């Protein structure tokens, strides 16, 4: 039975020259999602957005003074599929092939999304305006799998011990 | 005892019965009527390839009864024929061949044209190919995705061997078959070999087995949808091995479609598998060693074989009366079924009384999936590429395919064709029909197919495609054993319900703003506006309008596209992207922008705000946000600029505070100086409102003093509540899209998409003022220069009406249509109907007065309301 959990996370977006973004691999306690050569999403625990922005700004602005680093937490919703049926549920929602660990981006539930795979969970980041759509769709599409809605939001946990997902 | 209901009676079931087996045991011999000639058709292949056994099961038409397991309580009925399939008066069509030649519809229903719609209805009903169920909700199967290194389609000897070999090499393997493994094989060596191979395929070898999952087609990717009984699986394999085997060759001779004529595998499956005799006197014509196996299996199962033809040198079963080895079937005689068979030999003809004829003269590749996969990493294995191969050869072929070899066997020999009989059983196309079509000049397989409809039936050419190809290759007079080009194979390879094609298709995606719940709580009527769910009204459009014009109102405009543009080339990017001048834009000043494509046509509009730190904030329409994002990124790449775009549409909410008392309201919630000097029209300021950091833009769409407050989405509800809460005594109320439509129309503002056409340049919309042609370059500039040389032939104009018109109504001068109304509303400010509409130049001049039905439309200047913009600049 898969669990559907609302995960609270800070999301920071960095847009800069590729060489500057290469430095972000060392941001503490944030998962690093390289969405494009010149764009990175940093995902960390809730309330840590300002700290992540500060750390990322420090790292990238040396190499690219025109870099843009923004706290984009409001723009993203994170739904997490957990439990033993999580992969079955995800296979109903997307044609993306899940990596063993790391992350992919593409359409999930018909919506552009970032998917971070942890050992015990699949975190899916959606633009916030689709949050309810996705939740409703998970229920419709996975009802026969017995999906269970976890009422209590969970804080983001870095999906790897190093806290980084750079694939 | 388990049973099914069949046309008012009960038919008992036995273990592992298919619907066809149960009905056949119950005495049913005619299963369908052919679609054109209404000839009776009975069981034939029993491998799911032909269309002879289609019945209606539980309201679902065209179910292949020979491969559908019977379940207790099923309700089964036949379709086709009138008044019944058994006694069909429409069978008179079988005697009308001379007046119904091939191409009958093309030749007969050309004139009068009006006859065709009526004829089509009559013909459609007469075919009897089933009635689509109505009034029931389609069952949507869940769809899931599967990724695998190797997909093997078909779990016969070759498929099982291929799956095993691929798994041994460490590949993840998905093995599927439309039946349970071995289910459709008659007892014999093939079944035993398959069972042995299956033992080797265990779950811990990395093989996922999906039985009763039918491959619908092979698409680019490769992508292979599998339709199962309870799910649809979308498979994305690294490569595909097609091991779908072969269907027994469809023999063509006079009377080859009569009930009682069987293909060998089908006959053996019925007799030896289901234990149902196919007749009292059986004639067997075997052309291959497999055919001899069939003969042996029938005799062993107790069939009374009264005559048999076997290849020279074959060992017949004991006490089987043999005929000359060169004997071939000339015709089958009988009225409703087989009465006798006429065999032709070198020494003459011989007629043998019988009630069942079993023909097993070879195999034809079941290669539709393989042929539709040209250019993809897809190979075949076993009989699909080497029809007639031995079991050992099939296993070896499977292993080779797993190793990556493209095992191309010898081209399948074209099946023998008699001078009469049905080539395409599904579509009722005879040898005579094809010969006629050939003589009329249709001389390739593709056009013969289209003209005669051969191969277009439920079997998708499994039985007849090679007959057609050989005829097209060699013509009617040649002894055609050479195989010509086959027609193009396309999905679906097997019949598939439409509802299964929809499995996994997600509902229309709905975007919701952060204030969705607030709109609902306020009684908002929410509906789609593009891809967003937005409030159209909160119950009183008039008061919403008045709140904006006379008091203060708020509107959720968080749906607007919002982009931050940074990087050292940010200024260059916006300067080149948009036709307005950006270089002279002072910090925290905004300007209206149009987004033009290379042809100079208007794609979108919005605002650009200089933030003063080398960055720009750009907005677009709600519906245009995704396109604007892609458009900006595309041009950054094409120009090679060092600029970055961050789409803030989802991050930021936006609330428009509008109305003559809007400043008063905001000053209650903010310490910032929002006066006309500090924050002038088209100005911007970063301010704090109700404790929330906002970017306030002095812009508006409604023609009143207004402030757009862009803020973090997560605090939208808090800001909304503060504004509503503080504005009670000012008469605040939110307004929706219905009120906005009137407000913006009074200002003459256009709705892109509603008031515009895809080939509108700014001049046609009266927006030339938003284009700075003194700029050296921007996207669309060259096209605008070129178009400026030509006079306008169409333009958008403001209109007033003497009575309310219909939106979309044509505008006429005399009897000539010169335009169309794109927007209209009754203007409270003017007390009259107003609108926008397209008008065309007539004799070089635009008309000033037109007619829209009974309404008179007069062209006027816009804006209709506050033409000097004094209220907005307050």
Span B692-733, pLDDT tens digits: 999 999 997 899 999 999 999 999 999 999 999 999 999 999
Which residue of chain A comes nearest to B714, CA vs CA?
A74
Q: Beta strands B40-41 and B32-33: pairing type? A: antiparallel
The pLDDT assigned to B485 comes to 81
Give Cβ neighbours of residue B556 (< 8 Å, ≥ 6 apart): B513, B515, B518, B519, B534, B535, B653, B654, B655, B716, B720, B734
CB contact under 8 A, A66 and B651: no
**pTM score:** 0.84
pLDDT of B443 reads 85
Min Cα–Cα distance to chain B from A16, Å: 7
Which residue among A66, A111, A141 places its CB closest to the CB of B568?
A66
Buried/exposed code over B481-512 (b: 16+ C-beta within 10 A; e: otherwise): eebbebbebebbbbbbbeebeebbebeeebbb
- In degrees rounded to 5, what are phi and psi of residue B235? -100, 130
The whole-number average pLDDT for the span B68-90 is 94
The better pLDDT of the pair B80, B666 is held by: B666
Neighbouring C-beta atoms of residue A124, cutoff 10 Å: 25
Inter-chain CB pairs, A–B, below 8 Å:
101
pLDDT of residue A160: 60
**CB-CB under 8 Å, B650 with A76:** yes
N-terminal to C-terminal alpha carbon distance within chain A = 29
3-state class of B771 per DSSP? Answer: coil
Closest CB to B142: pick one of A92, A94, A137.
A92
Supply the mean pLDDT for chain B. Answer: 92
Q: Residues of chain B whose C-beta is under 8 A from some C-beta in A? A: 142-147, 234, 236, 504, 506-507, 509-514, 516, 532, 564, 566-568, 570, 614-615, 642, 644-646, 648-652, 712-715
- Looking at residues B571-596, what average pLDDT do you find? 96
pLDDT band, residue B546 (cuts 50/70/90)? very high
For residue A73, the chain B residue with the least C-alpha distance is: B651
Kindly give the residue spans of alpha helices, DSSP state H, lying in B109-156: 115-127
Q: What is the pLDDT of residues B223-268, one digit of tens each?
A: 999 999 899 999 999 999 999 999 999 999 999 999 999 999 999 9
Q: How many residues does chain B have?
A: 874
Name the residue among B202, B196, B136 with its Cα closest to residue B391.
Answer: B196
For the stretch B180-212, pLDDT in tens is: 998 888 777 888 999 999 988 766 678 999 999
* Percentage of chain B lying above the pLDDT 70 cut: 97
The nearest CA of chain B is from the CA of A146 a distance in Å of 13
Could you tell me the maximum CA-CA distance found in chain A, to the nearest angstrom?
52
pLDDT for residue B480: 45
To the nearest whole Å, the CA of A70 is away from the closest chain B CA by 9
User: Closest partner residue to A129 among B147, B512, B614, by Cβ?
Assistant: B512
Give the 3-state secondary structure of residue A73: helix
Name the residue of chain B whose CA is nearest to A67's CA: B567
Taking 90 as the threshold, does the pLDDT of residue A165 lie above it?
Answer: no
- From residue B676, alpha-carbon distances to B40, B249, B687 in Å are 89, 88, 15
Predicted pLDDT at B401 = 95
Share the mean pLDDT of chain A.
Answer: 90
Compute the distance between CA of residue A30 and CA of residue A47 in angstroms, rounded to an integer: 12
More confident residue, B204 or B292: B292
| B509–A72 CB contact, under 8 Å | no
Secondary structure (3-state) at B827: strand
Which CA distances in Å does B181 have to B154, B196, B439, B444? 9, 11, 46, 39
DSSP characters over B396-440: HHHHHHHTT-----PPPPPPPB-SSSEEETTTTEEHHHHHHHHHT
Give the pLDDT of residue B184.
83
Cβ neighbour number for residue B772 with a 10 Å cutoff: 17
Residues of chain B with pLDDT > 90, as a percent, come to: 78
The C-alpha angle with vertex B515 and arms to A30 and B754, in degrees rounded to 5, equals 110
- Residue B324's pLDDT is 85
pLDDT at position B481 over 50: no
CA angle, B554 then B556 then B562, to 5°: 130
**Contact criterion met (CB below 8 Å) for A68 and B646:** yes
Residues in B closer than 8 angstroms to A16, CB to CB, are 644
**Would you mind telling me the total number of residues written for chain A in this entry?**
167
Q: Does the interface predicted TM-score (ipTM) exceed 0.90?
A: yes
Average pLDDT (B807-828) is 96
Kindly report the three-state secondary structure assignment for every residue of B283-347: EEEECCHHHHHHHHHHHHCCCCEEEEECCCCCCCCCCCCECCCCCEEEEEECCCCCCEEEEEECC
Chain A residues within an 8 Å CB radius of B572: none
pLDDT band at B873 (very low <50, low <70, confident <90, very high): confident
Which residues have a Cβ under 8 Å from the Cβ of B669 and sit 6 or more positions away? B689, B690, B722, B723, B726
Check CB contact under 8 Å for B651 and A70: yes
Burial class (CB in 10 A: 0-12, 13-18, 19+), B350: middle
Give the model's confidence band at B326: pLDDT under 50 very low, under 70 low, under 90 confident, else very high. Answer: confident
Query: Residue A15: its chain B contacts at CB < 8 A?
Result: 566-567, 644-646
DSSP one-letter string for B50-100 = SSTTEEEETTEEEEEGGGSB--TT-EEE---SSB-SSSBGGGGGGG-GGGS
| Run of H or E including A63 | none
Residue A167 has pLDDT above 50, yes or no: no
pLDDT for A26: 73
Beta bridge partners of B305: B282
Contacts for B195 with CB less than 8 Å, ≥ 6 apart: B181, B182
Question: Do residues B669 and B722 make contact, with C-beta atoms less than 8 angstroms apart?
Answer: yes
pLDDT at B482 exceeding the cut of 50: no
Q: What does the alpha-carbon distance between residue B546 and residue B739 come to, in Å, rounded to a whole number?
A: 9
Within chain A, residue ranges assigned H as helices are 18-21, 49-61, 86-93, 131-142
- The single-letter DSSP state of residue A131 is H
> Which residues of B are less than 8 Å from A10 in CB distance?
none
> pLDDT tens digit string along B354-363?
999 999 999 9
Q: Is residue A150 over pLDDT 90?
A: no
Residue B338 has pLDDT above 70, yes or no: yes
- Closest CB to B507: pick one of A73, A128, A137: A137
């Amino acid at each position: 039975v898969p669990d559907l959990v609302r995960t609270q996370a800070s999301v920071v977006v960095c847009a800069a020259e590729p060489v500057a973004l290469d430095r972000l691999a060392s941001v503490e306690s944030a998962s690093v999602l390289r969405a494009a050569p010149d764009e990175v999403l940093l995902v960390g625990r809730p309330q840590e957005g300002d700290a992540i922005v500060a750390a990322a700004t420090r790292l990238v602005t040396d190499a690219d003074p025109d870099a843009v680093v923004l706290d984009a937490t409001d723009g993203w919703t994170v739904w997490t599929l957990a439990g033993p049926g999580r992969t079955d549920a995800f296979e109903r929602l997307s044609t993306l092939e899940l990596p063993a660990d790391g992350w992919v981006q593409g359409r999930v539930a018909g919506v552009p999304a970032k998917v971070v795979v942890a050992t015990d969970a699949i975190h899916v980041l959606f633009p916030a305006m689709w949050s309810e759509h996705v939740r409703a769709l998970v229920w419709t599409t996975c009802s026969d799998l017995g999906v269970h809605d976890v009422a209590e939001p969970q804080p983001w946990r870095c999906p790897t011990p190093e806290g980084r997902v750079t694939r | 005892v388990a049973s099914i209901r069949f046309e008012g009676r009960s038919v008992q079931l036995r273990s592992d019965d298919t619907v066809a087996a149960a009905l056949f045991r119950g005495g049913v011999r005619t299963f369908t009527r052919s679609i054109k000639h209404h000839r009776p058709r009975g069981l034939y292949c029993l491998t799911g390839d032909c269309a002879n056994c289609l019945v209606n099961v539980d309201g679902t038409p065209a179910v292949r009864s020979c491969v559908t397991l019977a379940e207790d309580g099923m309700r089964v009925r036949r379709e086709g024929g009138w008044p019944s399939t058994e006694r069909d008066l429409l069978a008179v069509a079988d005697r009308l061949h001379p007046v119904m030649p091939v191409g009958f519809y093309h030749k007969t229903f050309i004139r009068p044209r009006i006859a065709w719609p009526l004829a089509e209805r009559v013909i459609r009903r007469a075919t009897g190919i089933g009635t689509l169920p109505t009034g029931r909700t389609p069952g949507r199967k869940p769809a899931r995705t599967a990724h695998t290194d190797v997909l093997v389609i078909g779990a016969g000897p070759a498929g099982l061997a291929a799956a095993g070999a691929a798994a041994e090499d460490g590949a993840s393997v998905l093995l599927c078959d439309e039946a349970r493994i071995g289910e459709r094989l008659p007892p014999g060596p093939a079944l035993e070999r398959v069972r042995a191979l299956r033992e080797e395929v265990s779950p811990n070898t990395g093989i996922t087995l999906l039985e009763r999952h039918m491959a619908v087609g092979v698409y680019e990717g490769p992508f292979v949808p599998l339709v199962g009984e309870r799910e649809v699986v979308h498979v994305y394999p690294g490569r595909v091995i097609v091991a779908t085997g072969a269907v027994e060759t469809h023999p063509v001779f006079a009377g080859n479609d009569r009930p009682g004529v069987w293909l060998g595998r089908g006959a053996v499956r019925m007799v030896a598998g289901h234990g149902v005799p196919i007749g009292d006197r059986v004639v067997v014509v075997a052309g291959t060693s497999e055919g001899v196996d069939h003969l042996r299996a029938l005799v062993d199962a107790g069939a009374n074989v009264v005559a048999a033809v076997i290849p020279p040198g074959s060992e017949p079963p004991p006490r089987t009366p043999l005929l000359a080895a060169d004997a071939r079937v000339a015709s089958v005689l009988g009225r409703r079924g087989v009465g006798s068979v006429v065999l032709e030999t070198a020494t003459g003809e011989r007629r043998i009384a019988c009630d069942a004829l079993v023909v097993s003269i070879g195999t034809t590749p079941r290669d539709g999936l393989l042929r539709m996969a040209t250019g993809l990493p897809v190979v075949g294995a076993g009989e699909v590429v080497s029809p007639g191969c031995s079991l050992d050869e099939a296993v070896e072929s499977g292993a080779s395919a797993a190793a990556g070899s493209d095992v191309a066997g010898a081209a399948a020999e074209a099946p023998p064709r008699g001078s009469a009989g049905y080539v395409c059983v599904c579509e009722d196309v005879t040898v005579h029909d094809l010969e006629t079509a050939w003589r009329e000049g249709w001389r390739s397989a593709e056009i013969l197919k289209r003209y005669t409809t051969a191969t277009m039936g439920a079997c998708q050419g499994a039985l007849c495609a090679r007959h057609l190809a050989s005829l097209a290759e060699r013509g009617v007079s040649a002894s055609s054993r050479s195989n010509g080009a086959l027609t193009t194979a396309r999905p679906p390879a097997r019949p598939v319900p439409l509802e299964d094609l929809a499995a996994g298709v997600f509902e229309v995606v709905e975007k919701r703003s952060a204030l969705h719940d607030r709109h609902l709580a306020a009684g908002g009527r929410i509906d789609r506006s593009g891809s967003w769910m937005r409030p159209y009204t909160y119950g009183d459009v008039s008061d919403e309008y008045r709140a904006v014009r006379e008091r203060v109102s708020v509107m959720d405009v968080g749906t607007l596209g919002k982009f931050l543009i940074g990087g050292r080339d940010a200024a260059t990017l916006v300067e080149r992207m948009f036709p307005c001048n950006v270089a002279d834009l002072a910090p925290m000043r905004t300007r209206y922008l149009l987004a033009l494509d290379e042809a100079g046509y208007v794609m979108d509009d919005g605002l650009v705000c200089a933030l003063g730190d080398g960055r720009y904030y750009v907005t677009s329409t709600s519906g245009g946000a995704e396109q604007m994002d892609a458009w900006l990124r595309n041009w950054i790449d094409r120009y090679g600029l060092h600029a970055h775009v961050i789409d803030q549409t989802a991050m930021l909410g936006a609330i428009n505070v509008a109305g003559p008392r809007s400043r008063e309201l905001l000053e209650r919630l903010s310490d910032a100086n929002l006066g006309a000097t500090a924050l002038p029209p088209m100005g911007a300021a970063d301010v704090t409102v109700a404790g929330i950091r906002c970017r306030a833009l002095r812009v508006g769409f409604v023609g009143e003093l207004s402030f757009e407050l862009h803020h973090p989405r997560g605090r939208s509800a808090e800001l909304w509540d503060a504004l509503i809460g503080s504005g009670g005594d000012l008469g605040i109320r939110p307004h929706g899209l219905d009120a906005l439509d009137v407000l913006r129309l009074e200002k003459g503002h256009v709705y892109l998409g509603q008031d515009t056409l895809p080939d509108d340049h700014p001049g046609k919309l009266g927006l030339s003022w938003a284009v700075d042609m003194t700029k050296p370059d921007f996207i669309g500039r060259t096209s605008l220069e070129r178009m400026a040389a030509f006079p306008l032939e169409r333009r958008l104009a403001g209109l007033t009406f003497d009575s309310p018109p219909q939106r979309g109504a044509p505008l006429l001068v005399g009897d000539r249509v010169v335009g169309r109304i794109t927007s209209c509303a009754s203007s409270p400010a003017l007390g009259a109907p107003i609108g926008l509409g397209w008008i065309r130049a007539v004799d070089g001049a635009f008309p000033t007065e037109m007619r829209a039905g009974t309404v008179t439309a007069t062209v006027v200047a816009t804006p209709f309301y506050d033409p000097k913009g004094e209220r907005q600049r307050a």
